Structure 1
Amino acid sequence: MGIFCAIIAGFVRTVDGLNEWLGRAVAWLALGMVMVTFLVVILRYGFDLGWIALQESVVYMHAVLFLLGAGYTLKHDAHVRVDILYQRMGAKGRAWVDFLGAWLLLVPVCVFIFWSAWDYVAASWAIREASREAGGLPAVFLLKSVILGFAAIFLLQGVAQSGRALLIILDRPLKGERS
């Protein structure tokens, strides 16, 4: 049982570290979005200039921030939760809800998103899809690929969260965490 728990703990720490790094990295895109939006407004109203690619870059940053930051949000338990009953449960009760929720809801949804988006993304890559707008960004296929990245990173964090919950259920919480 000890080696099993050690493997789970190692996996949880690895995925947590990955999502911590990724979340902190993509968080900078929020600042980038503000700065580029400010620049778009100054150029348009101050100098009567505009570039479609600059405007589209805000949409790209927004998509990457939210999709690749989702695992970080889940890691920090900052997602939307209706916790009328959850907040009244003990640690093991919450762990069971987290464990079952991951395997009955989160994992199937992430697998479905990945599976259903695969052809959509592959078709975009096949033609190296670019913006429909003249002067737009030539990398729509890369933007669509972020959907697969979201499904993968969110799935990994969901499995890690279920591993954390399982350790609590087995009375072997990660060091520094209470059961």
Structure 2
Amino acid sequence: MNGLLKLSSLIDRLTELVGKSVIWLVLVVTLIGAGNAVMRYTIDYSSNAFLEIQWHLFSAIFLFCAGYTLMRNEHVRIDLIAGRFSRRGQTMIDIFGILFFLMPMAIAVMYMSWPIFVLAYETNEQSSNAGGLTIWPVRLMVPIGFFLLVIQGFSELIKRIGFLQGLCPDPGVKSHHPTSEEELALAIKAKRGEL
């Protein structure tokens, strides 16, 4: 089990790296959207490519940060029943959910999205909008994003089993982390040398 906990720690570090890197795309999407609006109203110029790159980047944010959100225990939960159980009981519910809901769904989406990406790549699928972008890069994000979610789900499963065996702290307890917006603001300040 100790080897699996080390593997879980490596997966968590990868997830943390991906999550903290992808957060910068929020700023990029905002700047592209603002720039597109300014150009549209000042010089009467706009392009579908600007809109589509925002959609593509938003897809990357959503897909690549799903595992990061899972690791930080920030997914929406409705604990009408589970909230009445002890932490051990809640952990067993988490294990059941990971094994029978999260993993099958994520693996199925990852598996079924791969041929769609391959077809888009082989045919060099293009947007149907005038001036639109190539589609295959965004199609590739789906299997990659769900792969990242699957490996983080595996990490969460390991940590919960480790908790039940008394080998690690409770992974279900939310520790206070800065929000994504707070992290981005801190990173921008650090880059400017304000901290």
Identity of aligned residues (%): 23
Deviation at 1:91, TM superposition (A): 2.3
Aligned to 2:151, which of 149, 156, 173? 156
2:162 paired residue among 167, 173, 179: 167
> Corresponding residue for 2:139?
144
Match of 2:117 in 1: 121
Q: Check if 1:45 corresponds to 2:21.
A: no
Query: Is the contact made by 1:9 and 1:174 (CA closer than 8 Å) also made in structure 2?
Result: no
Q: List runs of 5+ in structure 2 lacking aligned partners.
A: 174-195
Cα contact 2:19–2:68 (8 A) shared by 1: yes
Shift of 1:174: 4.9
Tell me the secondary structure at the aligned position of residue 166 of structure 2.
coil
Which one of the candidate residues 8, 14, 23 is aligned to 1:12?
8
How many residue pairs get aligned? The number is 173
Question: Structure 1: which 4+ aligned runs deviate by more than 4 Å?
Answer: 174-178
Distance 1:71 1:63, change over 3 A: same
Cα offsets for 1:4-32 (capped at 9, x unmatched): x2111111111111111111111111111
Tell me the distance in 1 between the aligned counterparts of 2:30 and 2:97.
35
Cα distance in 1, alignment partners of residues 172 and 34 from structure 2: 43
* Equivalent in the alignment of 2:181: none
1:89-108 equivalences under 5 Å are: 89-108=85-104
1:57 to 1:69, Cα distance in 2 relative to 1, 3 A: same
Runs of 5+ consecutive residues of structure 1 not aligned to the other structure: none
The alpha-carbon deviation at position 48 of structure 1 amounts to 0.2
Does the Cα contact within 8 Å between 1:99 and 1:163 map onto a contact in 2?
no
Provide Cα deviations, 1:82-117, integer angstroms capped at 9, x if missing partner: 112323322211221111111111111011101221
The Cα of 1:144 is off from its aligned counterpart by 0.5
- The Cα shift of 1:34 comes to 1.0
CA distance in 2, matches of 1:57, 1:28: 15
In structure 1, what is the Cα distance between the partners aligned to 2:31 and 2:82?
A: 40
Q: For residues 87 and 177 of structure 1, do their structure 2 counterparts lie closer, same or farther at Cα, with a shift above 3 Å needed? A: closer
Q: Which amino acid in structure 2 is aligned with residue 103 of structure 1? A: L
Structure 1 position 39, deviation (Å): 0.5
What is the Cα-based RMSD across aligned positions, in Å? Answer: 1.8
